[in-house]
C-alpha cells in the first residue's frame, strides 16, 4: 500500500517536472515583459511553478484540463496581485534602471527599438501590460485574455486600444525601419 | 479615420508589436530552465507542506474544541458540580485566549460533514443521499443528488487575502466577483479509462475566509460510468446560487 502510494507520488513528481520543463521558457518570456527585470521575472516564474506544483499534487481538486493555460493564468494573476499590493509603496522612476540592459542578447530588433519598447512597456499600467502580452505575445483572443486576467472582454478591448495608442510611436518607428530595410 | 480604419490600424500595430515583443528578450536556455524548475518545485514543496501543516493545525484545533466541549458537557451533567482536576497543582487557565484576528470568526464554523447533505437539500432541493463523509480539518461529504455523484466541502482558507485574491491563486478557471467574495467555476471530462465522466465544480471564496465548494458529475460515480446524462445536472449558475443563498453551510446560519 505504502509502496503504491510512493510510486504514485513519484509518478506525479515526474509528471510535474515534465510539465514544468515544457512551460517554463514561455512563462519566463512573458514574465520578463511583465516585470521588466530579470530577477523579478525569475521570482514570478518560480512562484507560478510553486502554485502549479501545489495544484497538480492536490487530491481534492480535479485534474487540470490544460495545465499550460492554467500556468499562464497563474503567472498573470500573481503578477497583477503583487503589483496591486506594491502599488502604494512604489515610487515612479524618472529614468529606466540599468537592469534592463542584460536583456540585450542577440535580439533581432534594433537595440534602440528594443529599449524604447521596454521603456514604453514599463510606463504602462500593469493591467495594460498584461493584456498586451497575452494578446500579442501569447496571441490569445480577446475572450481568452479576459479569462486569464479576470475581467470582461470589453475591458480587454479598452485596455488594448489604450495601450496600443501609447506604444504606437515606438511600434510605428520600427515599422518604418523595417519597410526601409526591404 | 472611420471605425473600420481604426480596427485595421490596430491590427497592423498589434501584429508588429507581437514581433517586437517576441524579439524583445533573449532566448531561454536549457540550464536556466532546469534551474528555474528546480527552484520552483522546491518552493512548491514548501508551500504544500505549509498548507498541509495549516490543515493539520486546523484539524487539531477542531479536535481540541470538540474535546473541550465534550469534557465540559460530561462534567456538567452530574448532580453535583464537579471541577476538572488541577494539573500538577496549578490552577486551570481562567479562560481561553482570544482567537487571532486572522482566524475566521468562531460563529462561522462550518457544520459537521454529516450535516452537509442537509445543507445541499436545503439549498437545491432534490433527493440527497450521503455516500461518505470525512473531516480533514474541514468537512467533506460525498453525496448523490437525484442519483448523480456530488462532492461538497467547506474549507478554511489556506492562502492569504480576500475572496478575490484567494480565487486568483487557487482557482482553476476564471474568477467572477460576487458580493463578499469571488467564484471559480470549471467543467472538465475525466479520462476514458475512468468512464469519461464530466464534472463541474463551483467554489465560492468568501471574504470571511472560507471556501465553499460543490462538485457535481454526470454519473452516479465520479470516476466510473455509466453516464446518466450528457452533462452534470446542475449549471454553474445553479451551483453558485446554491452556495451563496444556502443557509446550511455554517453553524451560524443554522442557528439563524
Answer left, alpha or beta for residue A150, where phi above 0 means left and psi between -120 and 50 means alpha.
left
End-of-domain residue from the set A17, A52, A86: A86
Q: Is A112 helix (H, G, I), strand (E, B) or coil?
A: helix
Return all residues near A95 (Cβ < 8 A) that are at least 6 apart. none
Flag whether pLDDT at B149 surpasses 90: yes
The C-alpha cell that represents B229 in the structure block: 446524462
For A108, which residue in chain B has the nearest alpha carbon?
B23
Give the residue ranges of DSSP H helices in B81-189.
116-124, 163-170
Residue A93 domain-assigned (yes or no): no
Q: Is A143 helix (H, G, I), strand (E, B) or coil?
A: helix
Q: Are A64 and A140 found together in one domain?
A: no
Residue A98 domain-assigned (yes or no): no
Tell me which of A63 and B110 has the higher pLDDT.
B110
Q: How many domains does chain A have?
A: 2
What CATH number does residue A126 fall under? 1.10.10.10
| B226 upstream amide cis, omega within 30 of 0 | yes
Contact status of B225 with chain A (Cβ, < 8 Å): no
The C-alpha cell that represents B162 in the structure block: 480576500
Closest CA–CA distance from residue A180 to any residue of chain B (Å): 15
Closest CA–CA distance from residue A151 to any residue of chain B (Å): 8
d(CA A122, CA A72): 20
Strand partners, B59: none
pLDDT confidence tier of residue A175, bands split at 50, 70 and 90: low
Contact status of B40 with chain A (Cβ, < 8 Å): yes
Residue A132 domain-assigned (yes or no): yes
Return all residues near B189 (Cβ < 8 A) that are at least 6 apart. A65, B196, B197, B198, B199
Cell 470582461, located at residue: A152
What are the tens digits of pLDDT across the range A49-58? Answer: 998 998 888 7
Note the residue count of chain A.
Answer: 182
Residue A100 domain-assigned (yes or no): no
Give the other-Cβ count within 10 Å of A60's Cβ.
12
Phi, psi dihedrals of residue B208, rounded to the nearest 5°: -80, -15
End-of-domain residue from the set A86, A120, A138: A86
Q: Are A114 and A82 found together in one domain?
A: no
* Inter-chain CB proximity A62 and B174 less than 8 Å: no
End-of-domain residue from the set A86, A118, A151: A86
| Contact (Cβ atoms closer than 8 angstroms) between residue A143 and residue A153 | yes
Residue A94 domain-assigned (yes or no): no
Question: Looking at residue A103, what is its pLDDT?
Answer: 35
What are the tens digits of pLDDT across the range B74-96? Answer: 444 333 333 333 333 333 333 33
Q: Are A10 and A62 found together in one domain?
A: yes
For A36, which residue in chain B has the nearest alpha carbon?
B25
| Contact (Cβ atoms closer than 8 angstroms) between residue B130 and residue B117 | yes
The C-alpha cell that represents B106 in the structure block: 468562531
Closest CA–CA distance from residue B15 to any residue of chain A (Å): 7
Q: Are A1 and A81 found together in one domain?
A: yes
Q: Are A72 and A130 found together in one domain?
A: no
Closest CA–CA distance from residue A8 to any residue of chain B (Å): 16
Give the range among A54-63, A155-164, B87-96, B176-185 with minimum mean pLDDT: B87-96
Contact status of B13 with chain A (Cβ, < 8 Å): yes
Tell me which of B1 and A139 has the higher pLDDT.
A139
Cell 540592459, located at residue: A101
Question: Looking at residue B60, what is its pLDDT?
Answer: 57
d(CA B164, CA B186): 16
Nearest to A35 by CA among A69, A88, A86: A86
Q: Are A12 and A66 found together in one domain?
A: yes
Whether the ipTM is more than 0.85: the answer is no
* Inter-chain CB proximity A17 and B37 less than 8 Å: yes
- Strands of the sheet containing B148-156, edge to edge, are B128-135, B139-145, B148-156, B210-217, B198-206, B181-189, B175-178
Nearest to A80 by CA among B205, B167, B100: B167
* Inter-chain CB proximity A150 and B37 less than 8 Å: no
* Inter-chain CB proximity B168 and A77 less than 8 Å: yes
pTM for the full model? 0.51
Flag whether pLDDT at B142 surpasses 60: yes
Q: Are A6 and A80 found together in one domain?
A: yes
Q: Are A50 and A130 found together in one domain?
A: no
What CATH number does residue A12 fall under? 1.10.1740.10
Name chain B contacts of A161, Cβ cutoff 8 Å: 10
Return all residues near B87 (Cβ < 8 A) that are at least 6 apart. none
* Residue A27: domain span: 1-86
Question: Looking at residue B4, what is its pLDDT?
Answer: 64
Flag whether pLDDT at B104 surpasses 70: no
pLDDT above 90 as % of chain A: 12
Residue A113 domain-assigned (yes or no): yes
Buried b (16+ CB within 10 A) or exposed e, B19-40: bbbbbbbbebeeeebeebbebb
Give the other-Cβ count within 10 Å of A37's Cβ.
18
Question: Looking at residue B88, what is its pLDDT?
Answer: 34
Q: Are A4 and A41 found together in one domain?
A: yes
Indicate the burial class of B130 (C-beta count within 10 angstroms; 0-12, 13-18, 19 or more).
middle
Indicate the burial class of B191 (C-beta count within 10 angstroms; 0-12, 13-18, 19 or more).
exposed
d(CA A74, CA A82): 12
Q: What is the mean pLDDT of residues B88-106?
A: 37
Q: Are A136 and A174 found together in one domain?
A: yes
Highest average pLDDT, of A144-158, B63-77, B135-149, comes from B135-149
Residue A95 domain-assigned (yes or no): no
Q: Is B151 helix (H, G, I), strand (E, B) or coil?
A: strand
Nearest to A28 by CA among B205, B30, B225, B173: B30
What are the tens digits of pLDDT across the range B26-69? Answer: 667 777 888 889 888 888 888 877 766 665 555 555 555 545 44
Residue A140 domain-assigned (yes or no): yes
The C-alpha cell that represents B51 in the structure block: 498548507
Q: Are A49 and A116 found together in one domain?
A: no
Secondary structure percentages of chain B, helix, strand, coil, to 5: 45, 25, 30
Q: Is B130 helix (H, G, I), strand (E, B) or coil?
A: strand
Q: Are A82 and A113 found together in one domain?
A: no
Amino acid at each position: 500500500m505504502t509502496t503504491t502510494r510512493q510510486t504514485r507520488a513519484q509518478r506525479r513528481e515526474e509528471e510535474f517536472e515534465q510539465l514544468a520543463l515544457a512551460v517554463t521558457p514561455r512563462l519566463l518570456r512573458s514574465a520578463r515583459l511583465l516585470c521588466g527585470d530579470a530577477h523579478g521575472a525569475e521570482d514570478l516564474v518560480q512562484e507560478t511553478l510553486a502554485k502549479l506544483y501545489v495544484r497538480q499534487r492536490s487530491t481534492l481538486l480535479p485534474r487540470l484540463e490544460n495545465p499550460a493555460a492554467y500556468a499562464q493564468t497563474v503567472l498573470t494573476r500573481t503578477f497583477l496581485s503583487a503589483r496591486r499590493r506594491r502599488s502604494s509603496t512604489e515610487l515612479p522612476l524618472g529614468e529606466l534602471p540599468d537592469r534592463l540592459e542584460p536583456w540585450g542578447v542577440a535580439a533581432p530588433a534594433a537595440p534602440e527599438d528594443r529599449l524604447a519598447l521596454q521603456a514604453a512597456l514599463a510606463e504602462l499600467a500593469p493591467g495594460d501590460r498584461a493584456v498586451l502580452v497575452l494578446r500579442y505575445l501569447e496571441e490569445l483572443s480577446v475572450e481568452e485574455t479576459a479569462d486569464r486576467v479576470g475581467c470582461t472582454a470589453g475591458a480587454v478591448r479598452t485596455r488594448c486600444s489604450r495601450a496600443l495608442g501609447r506604444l504606437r510611436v515606438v511600434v510605428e518607428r520600427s515599422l518604418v525601419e523595417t519597410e526601409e530595410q526591404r | 479615420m472611420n471605425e473600420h480604419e481604426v480596427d485595421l490600424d490596430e491590427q497592423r500595430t498589434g501584429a508588429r508589436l507581437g514581433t517586437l515583443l517576441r524579439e524583445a528578450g533573449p532566448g531561454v536556455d536549457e540550464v536556466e530552465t532546469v534551474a528555474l524548475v528546480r527552484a520552483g518545485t522546491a518552493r512548491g514543496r514548501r508551500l504544500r507542506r505549509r498548507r498541509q501543516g495549516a490543515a493539520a493545525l486546523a484539524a487539531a484545533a477542531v479536535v481540541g474544541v470538540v474535546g473541550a466541549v465534550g469534557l465540559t458537557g460530561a462534567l456538567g451533567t452530574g448532580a453535583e458540580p464537579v471541577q476538572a482536576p488541577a494539573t500538577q497543582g496549578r490552577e486551570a487557565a481562567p479562560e481561553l485566549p482570544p482567537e487571532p484576528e486572522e482566524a475566521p470568526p468562531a460563529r462561522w464554523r462550518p457544520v459537521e460533514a454529516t450535516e452537509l447533505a442537509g445543507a445541499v437539500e436545503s439549498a437545491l432541493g432534490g433527493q440527497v443521499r450521503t455516500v461518505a463523509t470525512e473531516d480533514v480539518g474541514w468537512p467533506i461529504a460525498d453525496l448523490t443528488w437525484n442519483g448523480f455523484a456530488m462532492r461538497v466541502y467547506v474549507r478554511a482558507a489556506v492562502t492569504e487575502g480576500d475572496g478575490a485574491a484567494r480565487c486568483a491563486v487557487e482557482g482553476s478557471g476564471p474568477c467572477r466577483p460576487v458580493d463578499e467574495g469571488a467564484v471559480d467555476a470549471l467543467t472538465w471530462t475525466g479520462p476514458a479509462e475512468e468512464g469519461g465522466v464530466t464534472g463541474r465544480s463551483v467554489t465560492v471564496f468568501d471574504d470571511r475566509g472560507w471556501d465553499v465548494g460543490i462538485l457535481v458529475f454526470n454519473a452516479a460515480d465520479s470516476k466510473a460510468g455509466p453516464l446518466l446524462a450528457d452533462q452534470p445536472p446542475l449549471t454553474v449558475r445553479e451551483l453558485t446560487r446554491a452556495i451563496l443563498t444556502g443557509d446550511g453551510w455554517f453553524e451560524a446560519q443554522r442557528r439563524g
